[in-house]
Amino acid sequence: MMSSLAACTQSPTGRSQVLLFSENDMQRLGEESFSQLKEQETISADQRLNRYVQCVTNQLVAEVPGGGQWEVVLFDSKQVNAFALPGGKVGVYTGLFKVANTQDQLAAVIGHEIAHVLSRHSNERVSRTQLTNIGLSAADAALGQSGIRQPAMAALGLGVQVGYLLPYGREQEAEADRLGLQLMAKAGFDPEQAITLWRNMAAQSNGQPPQLLSTHPSHGTRIQGLSSLMSEASNFYRQARGQGKQPACGR
Max distance between CA atoms of the chain, in angstroms, equals 54
The reply to whether 78 falls in a domain is yes
β-bridge mates for residue 158, sequence order: 165
Enzyme catalytic residues = 113
The reply to whether 2 falls in a domain is no
What is the per-residue burial (b if ≥16 Cβ within 10 Å, else e) of 161-200? eebebeebeeebbbbbbbbbbbbbbbbbbbbbbbbbbbeb
Count structural domains, the chain: 1
Per-residue CA distances from 134 to 30, 129, 139 (Å): 21, 8, 7
Residues lower than pLDDT 50 in the chain: 1-5, 135-137, 139-140, 142, 146-148, 151, 159-165, 209-215
CB atoms within 10 A of CB 248: 8
The reply to whether 190 falls in a domain is yes
Query: Is the sign of the CA dihedral 68, 74, 79, 80 positive or negative?
Result: positive
The reply to whether 251 falls in a domain is no
The pLDDT value recorded for residue 188 is 98
Query: What is the extent of the structural domain holding 170?
Result: 7-242
The pLDDT value recorded for residue 208 is 57
User: For residue 216, which of 185, 164, 171 has the smallest C-alpha distance?
Assistant: 171
User: For residue 247, which of 59, 50, 57, 53 has the smallest C-alpha distance?
Assistant: 59
The pLDDT value recorded for residue 9 is 77
The reply to whether 215 falls in a domain is yes
The reply to whether 250 falls in a domain is no
**pLDDT of 148-173, one tens digit each?**
455 455 555 554 343 334 557 788 88
The reply to whether 236 falls in a domain is yes
* CA–CA distance, 31 with 91 (Å, rounded to integer): 12
Render 163-215 in DSSP notation, one character per residue: T-BPPPPHHHHHHHHHHHHHHHHHTT--THHHHHHHHHHHHH-SSPPPGGG-S
Whole-model pTM over 0.75: yes
